[in-house]
Amino acid sequence: MTMTNQFLDISPEVQSALQNNLPVVALESTIISHGMPYPRNIETAGQVEKIVRTTGAIPATIAILQGRLKVGLNDEELAYLGKEKTIHKVSRRDLPYIVTKKLDGATTVASTMIIAHLAGIKVFVTGGIGGVHRGASETFDISADLSELAQTSVAVVCAGVKSILDIGATLEYLETHGVPVFGYKTAEFPAFYTRRSGFGVDHSFDSTEELAVAIKTKWGLGLKGGLVIGNPIPAKHEMAADKIDNAISKALNEAQTKGIKGKEVTPFLLSRIVELTGSESLKTNIQLVLNNAEVGARLAINLSELNQ
């Protein structure tokens, strides 16, 4: 059942699916506008939507266009997000301004969760969630994605947190705020470009059917807030840990030297890591998103079956 909202535009296909309890998967748009170079960004967005459809669910890419919260984009809108250079990166704090000024925005994990929840979508697929940045004990640089997970009831399928972050501190933050961190076919929390991080998950599940039951149970108990489902990149696509770690260290040092801060940090680091790894990190990024799309679609199908 969808919620009506004066700022929200849901595509007819997504609206019909939600009204008929069909599986829908929310997708973010920051990865299109700020996460990948053109034209790979548009190609990847199309591939992700196709995988969701092929698996049996309806994709709902989320963005803000002329101040309207859009749930479900057409090909023309996806292409616009990928080509246009003036798309704002929008998190929770930016939403009132972007909507009021009728601007265009690409949604982060936090704002995608908010809009998905407004629309009534329960499963959201992304590459990796934000987290606690390295050195946060001095900078207090903690992604709004984490506080959103604590309060917004959407299940987020990801390949862990981006390994540019402090993974241990991120998991501690999620534990403090009562956000379950589940592993899909893994007991170890994945580290985005690699399958292993050295940190465990709270609980591991071997099927999306079991995951769906656990998610439904959480919300059935009246426990609001989201869940993190760590889905490791397939082994054949993961990067060598030493190679990616070296690139991350170099990129972090450059960001510090250049005084890059706040919401500009992650786009800078990801872009620089692509350059330092000869585009290998970009290929890995694409593969993990495609893998998450399939798992997220199956999870959405299982949840819709439980709700029938």
pLDDT in tens, 47-69: 999 999 999 999 999 999 999 99
Residue 4, amino acid:
T
Q: Which residues are catalytic?
A: 28, 162
At residue 4, the pLDDT reads 58
- Report the 10 Å Cβ neighbour count for 86: 7
Total residues found in the chain within this entry: 308
When the candidates are 1.20.1110.10, 3.40.50.10190, 3.40.1790.10, 3.90.1150.10, the CATH number that belongs to 8-302 is 3.40.1790.10
Contact yes or no for 101/67 (Cβ under 8 A): yes
At residue 1, the pLDDT reads 39
Distance of CA 86 to CAs 35, 69, 177, 253, 255, Å? 14, 17, 35, 27, 22
* Tens digits of residue pLDDT in 129-185: 999 988 888 888 899 999 999 999 999 999 999 778 999 999 999 999 999 999 999
For helices 280-306 and 208-220, the axis angle rounded to 10 degrees is: 60
List the chain residues with pLDDT less than 70.
Answer: 1-4
Strand, coil or helix: 108: coil
At residue 5, the pLDDT reads 85
Burial of 200 (0-12, 13-18, 19+ CB in 10 A): middle
At residue 2, the pLDDT reads 46
Contact yes or no for 166/134 (Cβ under 8 A): yes
Rounded to an integer, what distance in angstroms lies between the CA atom of residue 154 and that of residue 219? Answer: 10
Q: How far apart are the first and last CA of the chain?
A: 12
Residue extents of the structural domains in the chain? 8-302
